[in-house]
Amino acid sequence: MVNLRRYTLVRNLVLLWVTGVILAAFLLDIPRINILEHTARNLYFHVPMWFTMMAAVFVSAYHSFQVLRSDDLVRDIRALQAARVGAFFGILGLVTGIVWSKYTWYVGTDVWWNFDPRQSMVSLQLLIYGAYFVLRGALDDPSKRARIAAVYNLFAATTTPFLLYVIPRQMDSLHPGAEGNPAFSEITHPVMRLVFYPAIIGFIGLFWVLYTQRVRTALLKLRTTHDPEL
Amino acid sequence: MSLSLTLLTDIQDQAAQSTAYDSIWAGGAVPTQEYSGLEQVMLAHDKLYVVLAVVLIIWFGIVILLLRNDARLKAVERTIEERGIRSDDGL
């Protein structure tokens, strides 16, 4: 079910890789931009959270699709755990974004949350995934649960790109990449790309490790109690 | 009159020189109050502590997930122990 040798190898590589990313994130000198100052370094941490969540959404949707094709309960376990760890990274992305915005967009005010379209839409998206977990809890029969949850999960996955990328970019937002604000590609210095792309790879690797860990536990639970829900 | 004209040109100059990010703010009346205690800490060293806060949030998030995973694993281990399932029972 899970290739343990590959898991251990990838885990060790990921831990080394992310350590290197964190060191580079703090040690490499970056150009200072007004208002952003050193917080530009959050590009290496906040933005990969969303890339990772997007990757998790793809993995989860792929396994839900396979549930509908094959009725395989192991696919259902994988879909659930990918969504769980994906939502975890989404929450981290949202919270780190709130902290970042407090000291840039909202500096000198008491504002922490101002219903910026980007933040509102991702909150909505996380609620859609919250409903997926609640829906699963409401169904008792494992194979019925797997199929119904898979259909809902495919719906949740299709809403994600719209709520994350399409709608916020049509609206006035302080977030980069929105109407009236330059996107990553227009403003990012080459030195920062040198850390940013490896950071994305590192955090997606971290997702894979955490996700595989949970799949292993869920499989063990399935074999002992015939109920894989974690 | 000349004073307000100078002010206006100043603001326009700032807007022209500023980078993409602060073009929204330059010239606009941004309500800025005295920095609170927390802000004074977070804005020190060119806002470096904001990055520290973000890294710590991610780190503690991972710690919480790790502890939760451990709790789940412990529950499964307890089930196995209670039932006395041995390693040759197909586990």
Domain boundaries, chain A: 4-225
For helices B37-83 and A190-225, angle between their N-to-C axes, nearest 10 degrees? 30
Per-residue confidence in pLDDT tens, chain A, 230 aa:
788 999 999 999 999 999 999 999 999 999 888 888 899 999 999 999 999 999 999 999 999 999 999 999 999 999 999 999 999 999 999 999 999 999 999 988 888 999 999 999 999 999 999 999 999 999 999 999 999 999 999 999 999 999 998 888 888 888 888 776 777 777 788 889 999 999 999 999 999 999 999 999 999 999 888 888 88
Whether residue B31 is predicted with pLDDT greater than 90 in this model: the reply is no
Helix (H, G, I), strand (E, B) or coil at A205: helix
Whether residue B72 is predicted with pLDDT greater than 70 in this model: the reply is yes
- pLDDT of res. B88: 55
Q: Which of A41, A81, A91 to mutate to test the interface with B (most CBs of B within 10 A)?
A: A41
Helix (H) or strand (E) holding A49: helix A46-70
Q: Read out DSSP for A91-137?
A: HHHHHHHHHHHHTTTTTTSS-S----HHHHHHHHHHHHHHHHHHHHH
Q: Do B54 and A214 touch (CB under 8 A)?
A: no
- pLDDT of res. B1: 41
Range with lowest mean pLDDT among A179-193, B34-48, B52-66: A179-193
Q: What is the ipTM of this complex?
A: 0.91
- pLDDT of res. A180: 67
- pLDDT of res. B32: 63
Kindly indicate the confidence band of residue B23, based on its pLDDT and cuts at 50, 70 and 90: very low
Measure A163 CA to nearest chain B CA, in Å.
Answer: 23
Domain boundaries, chain B: 44-84
Q: Do A100 and B31 touch (CB under 8 A)?
A: no
Name the residue with higher pLDDT: B42 or B84. B42
- Sorted by sequence, the CB contacts under 8 Å of residue A12 that are 6+ apart come out as none
Rounded mean pLDDT, B55-62: 96
Tell me whether A221 touches chain B (CB under 8 Å): yes
Tell me whether A181 touches chain B (CB under 8 Å): yes
Q: How far is CA A41 from the centre of its chain?
A: 19
Residue of B nearest to A91 (CA): B61
Tell me whether A185 touches chain B (CB under 8 Å): no
- pLDDT of res. A136: 95
- pLDDT of res. B86: 59
The chain B residues in contact with chain A (CB within 8 A) are 18-22, 24-25, 30-33, 35, 39, 42-43, 45-48, 50-51, 53-55, 57-58, 61-62, 65, 69, 72-73, 75-76, 79-80, 83, 85, 90-91
Whether residue B9 is predicted with pLDDT greater than 70 in this model: the reply is no
- pLDDT of res. B17: 46
Name the residue with higher pLDDT: B27 or B42. B42
Q: Is the dihedral of CA A20, A23, A28, A31 positive or negative?
A: positive
DSSP state of A179: B
